Structure 1
Amino acid sequence: METDNVAVPSGPLRVGVIAGSTRPTRRSPAIAQWVASDSSQPDLRLEVVDLATFNLPMLGEPLAAVFGTYEHDTTRRWAAAIAGYHAYVMVVPEYNASFPAVLKNALDHLYAEWNDKPVAFVGYGMSGGGRAVQQLRQVAEELRMQPVATSLYLSPHQVVDNRYAARAGEAEARAGMLAELARTLRAAPARAGGITR
């Protein structure tokens, strides 16, 4: 990895907590909000990023994202939002042993905006979302992201009235995952809003 002109992060670090589903009955916004409500890492500023608000078409760009030339306003808006974060937490449901196509599409719309940035995963589903996270981790690595080792696996049944009701030990597990994300970010500066390589 290049180390020239690396600006070490200082001040609050912006973390995009991506709600990775757009289904009308989705639970990802409630779980993303629960993740973002954590206050155990005062140097992290956790912000929910709702995929449903971006209305990305299915691979609507004529050129591959690696070229960084975006023709559509929707892509430019998505790129600007993602580029402004230092790291991410992806909240992902498991659909048929994988993660949603809408999240893969959102990831594939960009390339450089993801590079070198730490990412953590929160899976949920009838079996906890582990298979979705496993596959999503491979995609993140291909996008040159830095996945942390710790992930959370939650039950969708804990979402009641659009709020996630954490079970015993889950708040502590969330704090541990975010602590690892913060350590990874501090150790390997990412490219985002003011952080350059």
Structure 2
Amino acid sequence: MSKPKIAIVVGSTRAARFADTPVEWIARIAKSHADIEVEIVDLRDFPLPFFDEVASSAWVPSQNEVAQRWQKKVAEFDGYIFTAAEYNHGPTAVLKNALDYAATEWNKKPAGFVGYGGVGGARAVEQLRMHAVELQMAPTKAAVHIVWADFLAVRQGEKQLSDFEHLNQSANGLVAEIAWWAKALKIAREADVLAEEAKAA
């Protein structure tokens, strides 16, 4: 079996976003795990309109070209780590919109989160876990929560995320869980394909 491929999804598109900092940090940690492949996926490269299709792509193929390109990109991966900024007790609109623009491509794959904000993005992450369950993903218990004090120290250039041992521990725990579930679910999905082929034979 080939190594599971994990996407680190940049969950914000604002010009002044902080997301690039945790993305680069978690990507370095994830790439140190030899049992997975890692790719950064930036939502800026997929300028999706607010959802305006006839129905979910689970039922009707999307007409929008960017949506089709996004779905193909999502389908390439065996698991996902999302950065989750918290706006007004919830995730960014652009990230929720990106989740809505794919359907079966997310199914039976693990999802993990790196949250940041007033309470480490915990409320945004909690909502995203519910969205992930509805999309038939397997959200991990482990997550990274960059609380306000740590966020400000990094934003102001006083510290780097890697300076905080508690964050490094959380990040390694998250990546380890994602890797385990990605391998297990990849085997299970491949078994499903073989079973369907056997039925059709």
Normalising by the residue count of structure 2, what TM-score does the alignment of the two structures yield? 0.84
113, 120, 129: which is aligned to 2:105? 113
Report deviation, 1:85: 0.5
**Is the contact between residue 40 and residue 175 of structure 1 (CA under 8 Å) also seen in structure 2?**
no
| Superposition pairs of residues 37-186 of structure 1, within 5 angstroms | 37-38=28-29, 39-154=31-146, 155-157=150-152, 158-159=154-155, 164-166=160-162, 167-186=164-183
Bigger radius of gyration among the two: 2
More strand by share: 1
| Distance verdict in 2 for CA 1:75–1:171, change over 3 Å | same
What's the RMSD between the two structures over aligned residues? 2.2
| Distance verdict in 2 for CA 1:190–1:17, change over 3 Å | farther
**Is the contact between residue 4 and residue 186 of structure 2 (CA under 8 Å) also seen in structure 1?**
no
**Is the contact between residue 117 and residue 191 of structure 1 (CA under 8 Å) also seen in structure 2?**
no
27, 46, 49: which is aligned to 1:36? 27
**Is the contact between residue 68 and residue 110 of structure 1 (CA under 8 Å) also seen in structure 2?**
no
- Gaps (5+ residues) in structure 1? 1-9
- Gaps (5+ residues) in structure 2? 194-201
What secondary structure does 1:179 align onto? Answer: helix
| Distance verdict in 2 for CA 1:23–1:195, change over 3 Å | farther
What secondary structure does 2:61 align onto? Answer: coil
**Is the contact between residue 18 and residue 51 of structure 1 (CA under 8 Å) also seen in structure 2?**
yes
Residue of structure 1 equivalent to 2:184: 187
Report deviation, 1:68: 4.9
| Distance verdict in 2 for CA 1:159–1:107, change over 3 Å | same
Cα separation, 2, equivalents of 1:73 and 1:169:
42
Report deviation, 1:177: 1.1
**Is the contact between residue 86 and residue 190 of structure 1 (CA under 8 Å) also seen in structure 2?**
no
Residue of structure 2 equivalent to 1:26: 17
Higher RCO, Cα 8 Å, sep 6+ = 1
What secondary structure does 1:102 align onto? Answer: helix
Cα separation, 1, equivalents of 2:188 and 2:50:
26
Instruction: Output the amino acid matched with 1:165.
Output: L
**Is the contact between residue 11 and residue 43 of structure 1 (CA under 8 Å) also seen in structure 2?**
no
**Is the contact between residue 97 and residue 132 of structure 1 (CA under 8 Å) also seen in structure 2?**
yes
What secondary structure does 1:62 align onto? Answer: coil
What secondary structure does 1:182 align onto? Answer: helix
Cα separation, 1, equivalents of 2:138 and 2:83:
16
Q: Which runs of 4+ in 1 moved over 3 A?
A: 194-197
Instruction: Output the amino acid matched with 1:76.
Output: Q
Cα separation, 1, equivalents of 2:188 and 2:58:
16
